[in-house]
Every structure is written in C-alpha cells, then in structure tokens.
Amino acid sequence: MNPDYVALFNALRPETALVLGALAVLGLDMAIDRRRPVGERQRYALWVAAIAIAAAFVPAWHGPRGQVFGSVLVLDHLAVATRLGVLVLTMLTLGVIRAAPVRHPAEYIAVMLFAATGLMLMAAAQQLLLAFLALELASLSLYVITGIGSARPDAAEAALKYFLFGGMAAAFLLFGFSLIYGVTGSIELPVIAAQISVQGTNPILLVALVMVLVAFGFKVAAAPFHLWAPDVYQGAPAPSAALIASASKLAGFALFTRLLWPGFHAASGSAATFAGGPGWLPAVAVVCAASLLLGNFAALAQVNVRRLLAYSAIAHAGAMLLGVMAAGRSGPGPLFYYASTYGLATVGAFGVVTTVAISSRCEKISDLAGLYRRSPFLAATMTVYILSLAGIPPLAGFFGKLMVFSAALQLGGVAGPAGWLALLAIALSAVALYYYLIVVKQVLVADPPANSGPVAAPAATKLALGAAAALIILLGLFPGVILGLFQ
C-alpha cells in the first residue's frame, strides 16, 4: 500500500476542524481570565465550538467519497450521512448546554468535541484497529463529560457506572477483534469478509461475534446490556445524556452495521428463517426482542422523566436492531432515518427537561405539569418530540418505524422471526403510547403547581429546540430527503 497522506488529510478535514476547535476552546479559555463568571466563559466556548462544527460541516458534505488510505476508512452513503448526523446532533447539544450550568465549561465543551470526533471516525472506520480506537476515543470522552459537568454525587456515580460497564464492553470488543484477526489474519474488513466467506463459520469465529455483539449491545443500550443507561441518563448532566442518547447511538449503529453486514455477512445466518447454519442474526434477534419487551414494559413504571427516556431509548434500540437485521437486504437507509430522527427527538426532550430545571426542579414527570402555561414554546416542542418518539404521523418518528418495520417484514414475511419481531414491535408501540401520553398530558393538560413561574429559555437553547422540532416535522413531511442520501 502506498500511503496517500494528502487524500487522508482531505478526507479527515471535518475531524481536523473539530480537534482544532477543541484546542481553540481550551486555548481561548486560558487566554481570557479564568476568574470570569462561568456563564461568560461558557458563552465564548460555545461560540468557538459552534464555529468548529459549522466548519466541519462543509467538508463532511462536499468531501471525497469512497475508500480512503487503502481501505482504512470508507466514505460511503452511510458514513457521509452519519457524519452529517453526528455534526447536527452535536450542534443541537451545544444549544442544550446553554441551558445547563456545567462546572468547567471550556473543558466540558472541548471533551464533547473530542467525543464528536470519535463518533465521526466510528462512522467511517473500516479497519478493526481504527474502529476500536475511534470507539474508545468517543467512549472515554463520554465517560469524562458524564462526570465533570456537574457537582452532584449521582453524576459521579453515573460516570463510574458507565465507565465500568464501558470498560468491560471494550475488553469484550478487543478480545473479539483479536480472535477475528486470529481466524482471518487481517484487520481490514474487506479481507475479513472474503476470508469468512471462504472459510465458513467456525466456533472461534462465533465466539468472536458474540463478543462483538456484547460491545454493540452496550454501546446502543440494548437489553440485556442496558443496565448503565437509566442511571447515566438520570445522573449525567443533560447535554451529556443527550449526546449519549443521540449521536453516540447513531454512530454506534453505523459502526456495528458496517462490521456486521459488509464485514461478517457470510456469518450472518439466514435472516428469513434462521436456518442454514449458525450466525449472528439469531443473537441480534434475541437482543432485539429483549430490548423491545424490557424497554417498553419497564418504561410504564417510571416516574422520573430521564429514566423514562432511558427505558424508551432501550425500546427504540430494539426497533433499530430490526433495522440492522434488515440492512443486509434493504440497505442502511431505514435504519439511519430511524436513528437520526430518534436522536433529534431525544436531544430535544433532554433540552426541554434541562431548560425547565433552570427555574424549578425537573426530575419527576409531574414536574413538567402545566408547562403549556409556563412556556408555550417548550410545551409545543416537547409535544413534538414525545409524539415523534411515540411514532405519531406526520412526525418523523412514525416514518422511521414504518420503514424499519416494512424492511424487516420483507425478510421472509411473517414466516420469519424478523417478521414476528416487527409485529411485536408494532404491538408494543401501542403500549408505548401510554407512557408517552402520560408525559404529554402533564405538559399540555395538567395545571401548573401553585408556586411555579414562567420558564425562560436562553436564546441559543430556543434556537436548538426549535430547529430540532422543525427538523422532525420537515423530515416527517419529506422523508425522501434523508432516503435520497442513500441513492
């Protein structure tokens, strides 16, 4: 291989912009007086970060396509779309930060940019080593911003829990990767794919696949690897939770879909019947069913908004796993549409919860009571997010479900397990409506508590929340916009 560093640099301009932005955030914070009020330092840091993301957006949109640097990176439809999605979701998260008083704003925002860098690399990585490094860059950054943003003890608990689970998952992933290297003799996905299709499956490869799936389940908060999610969503500063729930999930799905389908498709087993040799599809199907059932039923019992969002996230991870199973036949378009619009709604929901918390406690669902009186804007956007999560048309969440479920049903119709899972997911969406309506009822119908005043949202937060709601509505009315990226 003749290393083409110019092409590599060219392809990595968005990541470069993010890293330079992170350094500029830190540098600027050093340069101005650090004894200034936190709010002011936060404002400067946010401006620099926003410029960096905007600067990254242009090359991510117009940049080169195809294989880069041998086959270390691949910039195909999925990678380009995911990189854009990560940038948009991170940008929206910056707006959420404005409403959340974080302790060390410059460091917090810089680490968040590093996390975004890792997520962007995950989207494009096509080599096991780079995939692992990108995943770890993102994960370590996310552990940090779970812990440092807030002085609350449950933030520290959340960070520790996330770190311990994450470390375990990383160990599994690395062990799995090393077994795959041992079996196939390569860390490049195209070579691995070719090797597996020649060799067929063998027990060591299956062990390796299970280990990869463990890490996958952890990264996207799928049951039974979800145990960290409720505590992290509850304890972490809201912007961190928003990023973990949205961009991190999107990039996780992109990375593992790439590993599973182009990489290990020869070891997938049959999607229609699961007959014809063991593979990873049956395992994904089990995780999918577990996530759907556990997420939806556990969410029914929640009283804390953030824990509710966590269990809803687990349920949605189950639905997205259906999209992963269908990606081999229908392409990653439906999955990406689902994951990205889900991310928009989640960032928005966390943003509203954070903004309400500026003026009063916002932990229980009942703390949202009467939001329509306290801030019509927040109430309207929250309604859009929650109804989109519930899958009510014409919001984007509905079309995500529609496309993923119909793609899953096309895998051998209802005769196959994928079809049954799709029917299960549709049935459970009626269950899910109940807990989503509980939230919307508090927001729009219940009377506000006697001692509560209006909620004032910072302009940047309003902008981000408005943009997220508008995107959910527009992408719902014109779903072809995102699907067009995949054609």
> Site residues (CB under 8 A) for another protein?
333, 387, 392-394, 398-399, 402-403, 405-406, 409-410, 413-414, 419, 422-423, 426-427, 429-430, 433-434, 437, 441, 444-445, 479-480, 483, 487
Nearer to another protein, 202 or 273 (CB): 273
Nearer to another protein, 176 or 479 (CB): 479
CB of 116 to another protein, least distance (A): 29
CB of 429 to another protein, least distance (A): 6
CB of 220 to another protein, least distance (A): 24
CB of 335 to another protein, least distance (A): 13
CB of 230 to another protein, least distance (A): 25
Nearer to another protein, 173 or 390 (CB): 390
Nearer to another protein, 202 or 406 (CB): 406
DSSP 486: G
CB of 235 to another protein, least distance (A): 31
DSSP 263: I
Q: In whole angstroms, give the CA distance from residue 468 to residue 340.
A: 11
Residue 124 token pair:
């494009």
CB of 388 to another protein, least distance (A): 12
CB of 274 to another protein, least distance (A): 17
How many helices (H) does the chain have, and how many strands (E)?
A: 21, 2
Nearer to another protein, 84 or 409 (CB): 409
Q: In whole angstroms, give the CA distance from residue 385 to residue 344.
A: 8
Nearest C-alpha neighbor of 392 from the set 421, 422, 429, 365: 429
Kindly report each contact of residues 37-42 with a partner whose C-beta sits within 8 Å and lies 24 or more positions away, as own/partner: 38/101, 38/103, 38/105, 39/101, 41/105, 41/106, 42/97, 42/98, 42/101, 42/102, 42/105, 42/106, 42/109
Nearer to another protein, 183 or 421 (CB): 421
Nearer to another protein, 51 or 415 (CB): 415
Nearer to another protein, 7 or 433 (CB): 433
Task: Check if the beta carbon of residue 202 is closer than 8 Å to that of residue 195.
Answer: no
Q: In whole angstroms, give the CA distance from residue 281 to residue 249.
A: 20
Q: What per-residue string of b and e applies to 30-55 under the rule 16 or more CB within 10 Å gives b?
A: eeeeeeeeeeebbebbbebbbebbeb
CB of 87 to another protein, least distance (A): 24
Name the H helices within 149-227: 153-184, 189-199, 203-219
CB of 310 to another protein, least distance (A): 23
Nearer to another protein, 237 or 419 (CB): 419
Nearer to another protein, 177 or 398 (CB): 398
Question: How long is the chain?
Answer: 487
The identity of residue 283, as a single letter, is A
Q: What per-residue string of b and e applies to 427-459 under the rule 16 or more CB within 10 Å gives b?
A: ebbeebeebbebbbebbbebebeeebeebebbe
Residue 116 token pair:
């975004």
Task: Check if the beta carbon of residue 278 is closer than 8 Å to that of residue 206.
Answer: yes
Nearer to another protein, 54 or 427 (CB): 427
**Cβ-based neighbours of 396, under 8 Å, separated by 6 or more:** 337, 341, 344, 345, 388, 471, 472, 473, 475, 476, 479
Residue 370 phi, psi (nearest 5) = 70, 25
In the chain the first and final C-alpha atoms are separated, in Å, by 30
Nearer to another protein, 42 or 375 (CB): 375
Task: Check if the beta carbon of residue 380 is closer than 8 Å to that of residue 234.
Answer: no
CB of 79 to another protein, least distance (A): 20
CB of 297 to another protein, least distance (A): 15
Q: What per-residue string of b and e applies to 200-211 under the rule 16 or more CB within 10 Å gives b?
A: ebeeebbebbeb
Task: Check if the beta carbon of residue 76 is closer than 8 Å to that of residue 68.
Answer: no
